């Protein structure tokens, strides 16, 4: 049985809870708990997922499990680990399932004994070190719910131990451990980070240093200015481009934070002309490099920084010249009909790359109208309709209609106007 099908089945089962919560809380849940230790890998995987989804659904409908039932649920992960079900065939699938289970149970605020809390935290920490990215991501999502539910407000020693553990692992020789720890720190709540934020920032900055061996590099933690010079390539592909994309995203976010604090006269890292020059220079460099996706990302980031309506970014040298090169798209409505006409025609072209790129651009333009004014949306829809009708007339061939063009247009209409195929 396919893993995806089991996941879909658990969601369907959870959707039925509202019709008879009592039945699910007793009979169904009891059967599922028993099956989490089944010798059949598919059965125990699906049952573990299902318990988490059903318990969360019960919580959503304000159904409180009995103390005995909560004890049974709390014993699932220790029992799985005691049976060593992470080993052998299906071990990785069970790790992901257990992380998802912890996430759902944490969201439902099921009562855990202190011993079980420590066990679950150790389980998530172990999964964070796993080289499989799916297992790591599942553990991160679980940790994001587990910590606020059970550790915020706990004694200072417990919180300090958690922070110390993840900070120490940022220098672990194991690449996966470093990556997982950086992910974990990124989802910890404000209450845990506030008291040690300087140490956290310094540790993360240290982890941003580019190492000598490409195969030892970690792209998720290396961001900001130094990461814009990362052009490493290894057996995973063009790792450097991933780093540079993440760096631009991080730079944009940090810029808004610093500028907001600057406008409020708060004591913090000073956003000045030197920092603004480094920021724009680094992004402009990416905007003229050889990869299409990097150029596009850089241009959009710079455009948002120049024209942000919420937070003004000061000290940008030659701002007027930059604004001439990268105009505000909101001021270009007079060209919208011409642009739409060109995109519609390109969608009917013979080159697959051009068709896909044009369709993506057109859909993006139409979806952006959802946040605009109502009259602007009507204007775009009218132009789109007019252009499509005109293009259909010009694209009709004596031997028949360009099927590819018409099917693409049909997809646009279905997507934008919500019609069925």
DSSP, residue by residue, 155-176: -HHHHHHHHHHHHHGGG-S-HH
Q: Is residue 158 part of a domain?
A: no
Q: Is residue 362 part of a domain?
A: yes
Q: Is residue 188 part of a domain?
A: no
Domain that holds residue 1: 1-150
Residues 46 and 143 in one domain: yes
Q: Is residue 199 part of a domain?
A: no
Residues 305 and 222 in one domain: yes
Unique residue bearing structure tokens 């020789």: 173
Q: Distance between CA atoms of 120 and 126, rounded to whole angstroms? A: 10
Q: Is residue 254 part of a domain?
A: yes
Q: Is residue 197 part of a domain?
A: no
Residues 247 and 320 in one domain: yes
Residues 323 and 349 in one domain: no
Residues 274 and 391 in one domain: no
Residues 6 and 126 in one domain: yes
Looking at the chain, the number of H-run helices and the number of E-run strands are 22, 0
* CA angle centred on 120, ends 117 and 63, rounded to 5°: 70
Residues 214 and 252 in one domain: yes
Closest CA to 121 of 88, 167, 78: 78
- Checking if the pLDDT of 270 tops 90, the result is no
Residues 363 and 311 in one domain: no
Looking at the DSSP bridge assignments, the partners of residue 397 are 400
- Checking if the pLDDT of 145 tops 90, the result is yes
Unique residue bearing structure tokens 């969360």: 56
Residues 6+ apart with CB under 8 A from 231: 240
Which H helix or E strand runs over 359? helix 352-368
Residues 351 and 301 in one domain: no
Mean pLDDT within 254-273 = 76
Last residue of one domain, picked from the residues 134, 150, 166: 150
pLDDT tens digits for range 273-323: 888 998 999 999 999 888 888 988 999 999 999 999 899 999 999 999 998
**Ranges 33-42, 193-202, 313-322: which has the least confidence:** 193-202
- Checking if the pLDDT of 134 tops 80, the result is yes
Residue 237's SS3 state is: strand
Residues 111 and 33 in one domain: yes
Q: Are 164 and 188 in contact (CB under 8 A)?
A: no
Q: Which of 91-105, 198-212, 275-289, 323-337 has the highest mean pLDDT?
A: 91-105
Q: Is residue 162 part of a domain?
A: no
- Checking if the pLDDT of 400 tops 50, the result is no
Domain count, the chain: 3
Residue 82: is it exposed, middle or buried by C-beta count within 10 angstroms (0-12/13-18/19+)? Answer: exposed
pLDDT at 378: 56
Last residue of one domain, picked from the residues 312, 330, 348: 330
Distance of CA 371 to the CA centre of its chain: 22
**Ranges 11-15, 79-83, 135-139, 414-418: which has the least confidence:** 414-418
Last residue of one domain, picked from the residues 150, 179, 197: 150
Q: Is residue 67 part of a domain?
A: yes
Residues 232 and 339 in one domain: no
Claim: this prediction has a pTM higher than 0.95: no
The residue that leads in pLDDT, 411 or 276, is 276
- pLDDT band of 160, cuts 50, 70, 90: confident
Residues 392 and 292 in one domain: no
pLDDT at 99: 96
């Amino acid at each position: 049985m396919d893993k995806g099908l089991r996941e879909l089945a658990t969601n369907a089962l959870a959707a039925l809870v509202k019709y008879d919560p009592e039945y699910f809380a007793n009979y169904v849940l009891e059967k599922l708990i028993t099956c989490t230790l089944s010798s059949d890998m598919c059965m125990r995987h699906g049952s573990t997922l299902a318990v988490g989804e059903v318990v969360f659904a019960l919580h959503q409908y304000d159904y409180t499990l009995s103390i005995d039932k909560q004890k049974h649920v709390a014993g699932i992960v220790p029992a799985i680990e005691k049976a060593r079900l992470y080993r052998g065939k299906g071990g990785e699938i069970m790790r992901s399932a257990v992380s998802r289970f912890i996430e759902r149970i944490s969201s439902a605020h099921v009562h855990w004994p202190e011993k079980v809390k420590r066990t679950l935290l150790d389980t998530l920490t172990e999964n964070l070190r796993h080289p499989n990215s799916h297992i790591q991501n599942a553990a991160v999502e679980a940790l994001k719910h587990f910590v606020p539910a059970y550790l915020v407000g706990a004694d200072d020693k417990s919180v300090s131990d958690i922070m110390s553990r993840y900070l120490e692992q940022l220098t672990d020789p194991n690449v996966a451990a470093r990556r997982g720890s950086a992910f974990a720190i990124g989802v910890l709540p404000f209450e845990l980070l506030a008291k040690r934020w300087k140490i956290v920032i310094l540790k993360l900055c240290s982890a941003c240093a580019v190492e000598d061996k490409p195969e030892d590099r970690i792209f998720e933690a290396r961001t900001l200015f130094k990461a814009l010079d990362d052009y490493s390539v290894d057996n995973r592909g063009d790792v450097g481009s991933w780093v540079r994309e993440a760096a631009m995203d991080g730079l944009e976010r940090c810029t808004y934070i610093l500028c907001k604090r600057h406008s409020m006269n708060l004591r913090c890292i000073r956003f000045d002309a030197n920092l603004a020059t480094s920021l724009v220079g680094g992004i402009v460099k990416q905007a003229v490099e050889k990869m299409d996706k990097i150029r596009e990302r850089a241009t959009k980031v710079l455009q948002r920084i120049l024209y942000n309506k919420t937070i003004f970014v000061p000290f940008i040298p030659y701002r007027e010249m930059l604004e001439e090169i990268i105009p505000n798209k909101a001021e270009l409505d007079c060209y919208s009909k011409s642009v739409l006409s060109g995109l519609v025609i390109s969608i009917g072209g013979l080159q697959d790359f051009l068709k896909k790129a044009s369709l993506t651009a057109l859909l993006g333009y139409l979806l952006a109208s959802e946040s605009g004014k109502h009259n602007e949306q009507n204007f775009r829809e009218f132009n789109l309709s007019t252009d499509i009708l005109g293009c259909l007339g010009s694209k009709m061939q004596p031997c028949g209609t360009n099927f590819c063009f018409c099917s693409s247009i049909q997809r646009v209409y279905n997507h934008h106007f919500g019609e069925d195929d």
